[in-house]
Amino acid sequence: MEAPPSLADGRIGIIGYPSASPFEIHHILCKMDSVPHHAVFGSLLMPEHPVSEPMP
C-alpha cells in the first residue's frame, strides 16, 4: 500500500485500505482469515474550521 498523499495544500484526499467481505456471521466469528480480501478506496475530507475538542 502506498503512503497517503499530503493534505497540507488541500481539503480532500483519496485513501486506500484493505477490506474483507464476510458473507455470514459464521465467517466473521470463525473464518475471518479465509474471507476474500480486496483493496477499497475512499475520500478523506478535512474540516475547514476544526474545533479544539475531539471529533468522531
One pLDDT digit (tens) per residue for the chain, 56 residues: 565 556 566 657 788 888 887 777 887 788 877 888 889 998 877 777 777 777 66
Alpha-carbon Rg for the chain in angstroms: 16
Contact 40, 51 (CB under 8 A): no
**Widest pairwise Cα distance in the chain:** 45
Contact 46, 36 (CB under 8 A): no
Residue 4: what residue type?
Answer: P
